[in-house]
Amino acid sequence: MFSYIATLVGAGFASGQEIVSFFVKFGRYSIVGIVISSVLFALIAYAVLFACAKNKIHTFNEYLDTFCTGYIKRIILIFCGIFSVVCFVAMASGAGEIGNIVFGVYPIIGNTALCGLVLLLILRGNLKAVKYNGIIGAVIVIGIISCLLYIMAYREHQVFYNMSRIAVSAISYAGYNIIGGAVVLVKLSGMLKTRTDCVAVSIISGISIMFIMLLMWWVLSTYYGKINLGELPMLTMAIRQNGVIALIYGILLALAILTTAVSSMVGVREVFRGGYPVFMTLFCALAFGGAGLSGIVNVAYRACGYISIILVIYIAIIKVKNEKNRDI
């Protein structure tokens, strides 16, 4: 469960940049979008976990075989692989910014440190890397919630709203997270035995993510439009409190970046196979990690979200058709 949560709580989420870009900027009614996203996270988690546990599937490639073949499967695989690379580059960008803001080092140092650490973890195998993510994920969830509750003591009031764009933004946000999440969920499915296990993990994951998102939304909506939140809004808020909270949140943010970077690299290995794609991904992270987290979140992530939702709808249609054919 925590491995799945850790995949979702990456640099964009834990930094608050995703919450601002996809929810806060639409005002107080964007809270509805958070609920929509959380429900989608839970539903997708259940669909993937149950299908894999039922059919004893252990790789993302095998999972795709259950509902598509040929060029459609190749398109989905390539898209998932490309997004995993984009996500890893985003994490590298976030690592560089944290290193610069919290520790005062050049961004390339934080970027390189993340690449080296992920390489060490990934060489131990995909399943072990996912298990490590689960342990770190538990620390991240507890730590971020504690920091948010502390910061909330300083909240003010806020305004705004735009209902139609809220739903679209929420679906887009859930959409691109589905990509990386599905790869990790396939790996986790081997630990689950029954439908009840799948339901429990899905519901708890969805509720946990929603709770963190609501707390973060509450904090950031208070200051949105009133101060410059920067590339890492939640870290900006932590720094405004005191040096201790800033250091603690900086460490939690670094851990969140690490877990999502590991999940992204697992996705690269699952899709492309071999060592060459891994090193190409590391090269891309070092080359383009300075692009800025907000730019990647607002452009690349959002575009991937729309595309992935189209793919999910297509997959759902194929699954329904397959079920009807079996009944006949």
Say if residue 264's pLDDT is above 50.
yes
Which of 57-66, 157-166, 206-215, 222-231 holds the top average pLDDT? 206-215
Predicted confidence band of residue 166 (pLDDT cuts 50, 70, 90): low
Nearest to 158 by CA among 23, 36, 39: 23
Judge if pTM exceeds 0.85. Answer: no
Is residue 69 classed as helix, strand or coil in its secondary structure? coil
| pLDDT (mean) for 225-237 | 82
Lowest mean pLDDT among 10-24, 148-162, 275-289: 148-162
pLDDT score recorded for residue 50: 82
Predicted confidence band of residue 159 (pLDDT cuts 50, 70, 90): very low
Task: Name residues whose C-beta falls within 8 Å of residue 74's C-beta, 6 or more positions apart in sequence.
Answer: none
SS percent in the chain: helix, strand, coil, step 5: 85, 0, 15
pLDDT score recorded for residue 158: 41
Domain boundaries, the chain: 2-327
Predicted confidence band of residue 238 (pLDDT cuts 50, 70, 90): confident
pLDDT score recorded for residue 160: 40
Whole-number Å distance between alpha carbons of 121 and 126: 9
Instruction: Assess contact for 232 and 16: CB atoms under 8 A.
Output: yes
Instruction: Assess contact for 219 and 234: CB atoms under 8 A.
Output: yes
Lowest mean pLDDT among 37-41, 48-52, 251-255, 293-297: 293-297
Predicted confidence band of residue 253 (pLDDT cuts 50, 70, 90): confident
Whole-number Å distance between alpha carbons of 105 and 65: 46
Report the b/e string of 94-108 with b at 16+ CB within 10 A: bbbbbbbbbeeeebe
* CATH number for the domain whose boundaries are 2-327: 1.20.1740.10
Is residue 57 classed as helix, strand or coil in its secondary structure? coil
Whole-number Å distance between alpha carbons of 276 and 258: 21
| pLDDT (mean) for 298-322 | 73
| pLDDT (mean) for 167-196 | 66
